[in-house]
Structure 1
Amino acid sequence: MKLITRCLITLMMGSFLWSCDSSNEAEVEENKATEEGDANTDDSSYLLKQGYWIGNLRISKTRMIPFNMEIVKDSVYFVNAEEHIGAKIVEDGAQLVIEMPIFDSEFRISKNDKGVFGFWHNYAKGPDYQIDFTARPIDKEHYDNRFSIPESNTVTNFEGNWETTFDVGSEDAYKALGLLLQVNQDVKGTFLTETGDYRFLQGNAIGDSLYLSAFDGSHAFLFAAEMDGDTMRGTFYSGNHYQNNWVAFRNDDFELRNPDSLTRLKIGEEFSFNFPGIDGKPVAYPSPKYTEEVVIIQLLGSWCPNCMDETKFLTDLHKSYKDKGLHIIGIAFENPETLEGKIERVKELANYYGAEYEFCIGGYASKKEAEEALPALSEVLSFPTTIFIDKDGQIRKIHTGFNGPGTGPYYLKFVESTNKFVQKLLSE
């Protein structure tokens, strides 16, 4: 087995738990364990039947995006491989409501004899964006079968590293590295691109077809493909609003371009900004308050799952080095029209992760607007984009995207190299 696969298996044995109730993830995990221990077997005590469920978002007449759910007392945990995203179930008149943490989306559902039905509303994409939703209880034995698997299923091997091209044949075509693990018919992994990754994907191999899906509160993804000789040919669906074609073939030597080489400081330009902070005070750079400090600038959006992964990482990094001279500033580009609305979204993000570094509002959630707000940068290809500045005020590195926990060894490598780089800047 390849080293990269062994590393990915090791990382994916970990658990990543999100909850709307607390910024302390360890506390949330403890709460979940307590709920599981205290849960009464009498389902009538709670709003929904306790245990394992399968949810489905219908994106067309013939396509659904399935995902796993666990109901524990009056909480629901959305499961993607080792990731658990927790939210409370509450009553609102005749309906039940599940408001997703951080992201501006919610489920509004009703009960029937099969389970629940209703809609997932993603307000970040507009007030009218919704997808039909149904969910039903399922026994634990079939819990990992997100997709309908025939009893006589034959299994094709999809494990490996895959050189992938999305939007095949178009001017917007882009490369990705598929990282897939397989045990019998169960498949987990992700696709890593130059602007981020598709986070934790989970699904099944059925005959010569592969199906992977994920739901994280912001995005609903489906990757469907068939093996054609030594090549996978598939379609990627994002919600009910977007799809494109992709092809992939195994290539252990394939690597994406260096993420530190994609965005640059324009020659002769000075990097500077002055934006409203989330505490009502302006945040400006350069400033005497950052003299002799190492500064990391994070371009982010609270609507962006990769930015959430990076915010968690930067929160831990800041706690480790803030007393040694590290300062972090998050510049957020948000969807709400008003400044107050933008600030509210960022405060929710910061509170959730317990982030103690500075945040300010750069503008609307647009890469073009980010480029206009920060004209010294050659371009902004991705949220997040991270800028590392030394004690002399010189930009030493601009990193595009973020390799999150779902990328396994790539995440571990990023964590190690970034810590070493920050330590080097602090020691200079």
Structure 2
Amino acid sequence: MKKTVVGLFAFFLALSSFSQTSIPKSTWRAALLRGHNEVVFGLEITPKSNGRYEAVVINGAERLPMDEAYLEGDSLHIPMLIFDSDLVVKVAGNQMKGSWKKNRNGVWVSVLPFKADKGEMYHFAKKPQATSHNVSGKYATYFQRPERKDSSFAVGILEQKGSKLAGTFLTPTGDYRYLAGDIVGDSLFMSCYDGSHAFLFRAAILPNGKIRGGMWSGISGYQPFTSTRDDKAALPPPTALTYLKPGYETLDFSFPDTKGNKISLKDEKYKGKVVVLQLSGTWCPNCMDETKFMVPWYKKNASRGVEILGLMFERSPDMKVSGPKIDFMAKRFGVPYPLVLAGTNDANAGQALPALNKVAGYPTTIFIDKKGRVREIHTGFSGPGTGKYYDQFIEEFNALISKLLAE
């Protein structure tokens, strides 16, 4: 009997260690586990006055706020609601353990195991290692898709300082956002987590400027890739993927906002103005990056005679399902321009705008002049993680708007 009482006491003592009433301000080396592979990122937890927590994910130079974190029972929830994502963990002293969950068809499912160590902030090498390798530069990259027996092209951008790495991969429809990691021996490791995507790049550094390895994504995604250093590597023009079908100059649509109001380019608000259509989705991290650019830009430039209209392509065509997500995104980023539900982000997306040959990717940005004519269609978005390519996008965006306003 005595042993039973002692055993029960030990059990409840252990259980209580996962049921802290508060978590102090702290930083953590966090990782999602794909077998023996780790998708590593930093995590910062700060208590708030309302008994909840501010949680910030750190991917290299990026500090990405999650939604307000909270304790429920013996678990800490760190959600990213626009991506139907939740880190659900139990805290025991200097460790967290739990899982990354995503919503699939209205059901929360466990996706990947999660762990974190308090006070640690390294990526893949706890102590920096001296290296003779220098992988900084631009790379022509081919991702092989075994299930389709073809390859997709990307431009890799790597920046090395000592044995530390940062970079991203640019594709015709967007970029892989902020990747960070290390060179360990003859291999490189980079990863990131943004609430929607979890990426790990692991590759061998080969002679003659080549890198060969694999990309792990999400719960089960994997693609081998080969990169070759090439200062002239470039993507096809972003204006070449989506275009107007012959015989069309304008777009004609009427889509509802979340309150049921139909919005059209024929509305008085848009007459005689330059209009930017943002084809977007609440599920899309690159769209999140573009929205972070669009919101302050619009506030600064709306008085010049320009409007932005967000056309949202969601997982569900049902406003009862997608409307709250759109409203939440608008609130989270302080979107001052209308967002409407235009359709779904699947093979049927092009039916919403039949004048287009297709919707090739998200985000897609359509520029319309004062007479209502489509003047340019830009597929994809080079976000702030791409460095000079982001600066180039801003410069070209402003130049095109100024040109259309001057006409």
Aligning the two structures, in what range does the TM-score lie when normalised by the shorter sequence? 0.7 to 0.9
| Corresponding residue for residue 180 of structure 2 | 202
Equivalent residues in 2 for 1:19-58, closer than 5 Å? 47-58=22-33
- Structure 2: gaps spanning 5 or more residues: 1-18, 48-52
Equivalent residues in 2 for 1:65-104, closer than 5 Å? 65-73=39-47, 74-87=53-66, 88-100=68-80, 102-104=82-84
With over 3 angstroms needed to count, the CA separation of the structure-2 counterparts of 1:327 and 1:234, relative to structure 1, is: same
| Corresponding residue for residue 392 of structure 1 | 371
Aligned mate of 1:217, from 175, 185, 195: 195
Residues 338-373 of structure 1: per-residue CA shift (max 9 Å, x gap):
31221111111112221111110012232x221121
Offset of 1:126 from its aligned partner?
6.4
Distance 2:172 2:372 in 1: 27
Residues 176-216 of structure 1: per-residue CA shift (max 9 Å, x gap):
11111111111001111110000011001011101000011
Distance 2:401 2:170 in 1: 24
With over 3 angstroms needed to count, the CA separation of the structure-2 counterparts of 1:125 and 1:55, relative to structure 1, is: farther
| Corresponding residue for residue 26 of structure 1 | none
Equivalent residues in 2 for 1:18-417, closer than 5 Å? 47-60=22-35, 62-73=36-47, 74-87=53-66, 88-100=68-80, 102-123=82-103, 127=107, 128-139=109-120, 143=121, 145-148=122-125, 154-167=131-144, 170-230=148-208, 231-269=210-248, 270-336=250-316, 338-366=318-346, 368-417=347-396
Secondary structure of the residue aligned to 2:331 is helix
With over 3 angstroms needed to count, the CA separation of the structure-2 counterparts of 1:177 and 1:333, relative to structure 1, is: same
Secondary structure of the residue aligned to 1:173 is strand
Q: How many residues align?
A: 379
Offset of 1:91 from its aligned partner?
1.3
With over 3 angstroms needed to count, the CA separation of the structure-2 counterparts of 1:376 and 1:337, relative to structure 1, is: closer
Contact 2:99 2:110 in 1 (8 A): no
With over 3 angstroms needed to count, the CA separation of the structure-2 counterparts of 1:294 and 1:172, relative to structure 1, is: farther
Contact 1:371 1:379 in 2 (8 A): yes
Secondary structure of the residue aligned to 2:398 is helix
Greater mean deviation of Cα atoms: 321-330 or 98-107: 98-107
Contact 1:233 1:247 in 2 (8 A): yes
Distance 1:114 1:355 in 2: 38
Offset of 1:49 from its aligned partner?
5.0
| Corresponding residue for residue 9 of structure 2 | none
Secondary structure of the residue aligned to 1:64 is strand
Offset of 1:306 from its aligned partner?
0.6
Offset of 1:337 from its aligned partner?
5.9
Greater mean deviation of Cα atoms: 222-231 or 287-296: 287-296
> TM-score, length-normalised on structure 1?
0.83
Contact 1:329 1:357 in 2 (8 A): yes
Contact 1:168 1:246 in 2 (8 A): no
Secondary structure of the residue aligned to 2:215 is strand
Residues 30-82 of structure 1: per-residue CA shift (max 9 Å, x gap):
xxxxxxxxxxxxxx99733543211111122x222111112333332210111
Q: Which amino acid aligns with 2:199?
A: F
Contact 1:76 1:89 in 2 (8 A): yes
Q: Give the structure with higher Rg (CA).
A: 2
| Corresponding residue for residue 13 of structure 2 | none
With over 3 angstroms needed to count, the CA separation of the structure-2 counterparts of 1:152 and 1:377, relative to structure 1, is: closer
Secondary structure of the residue aligned to 1:333 is strand
Distance 2:97 2:316 in 1: 29
Distance 2:255 2:104 in 1: 23
Distance 1:150 1:91 in 2: 33
> TM-score, length-normalised on structure 2?
0.88
| Corresponding residue for residue 29 of structure 1 | none
With over 3 angstroms needed to count, the CA separation of the structure-2 counterparts of 1:426 and 1:251, relative to structure 1, is: same
With over 3 angstroms needed to count, the CA separation of the structure-2 counterparts of 1:126 and 1:197, relative to structure 1, is: farther
Distance 1:150 1:78 in 2: 22
Distance 1:150 1:416 in 2: 40
Contact 1:155 1:205 in 2 (8 A): no
Distance 2:144 2:218 in 1: 16
Residues 13-42 of structure 1: per-residue CA shift (max 9 Å, x gap):
xxxxxxxxxxxxxxxxxxxxxxxxxxxxxx
Contact 2:242 2:356 in 1 (8 A): yes
Contact 1:222 1:237 in 2 (8 A): yes
Greater mean deviation of Cα atoms: 376-385 or 96-105: 96-105
With over 3 angstroms needed to count, the CA separation of the structure-2 counterparts of 1:337 and 1:296, relative to structure 1, is: closer
- Structure 1: gaps spanning 5 or more residues: 1-43
| Corresponding residue for residue 4 of structure 2 | none
Contact 1:155 1:207 in 2 (8 A): no
Equivalent residues in 2 for 1:413-428, closer than 5 Å? 413-428=392-407
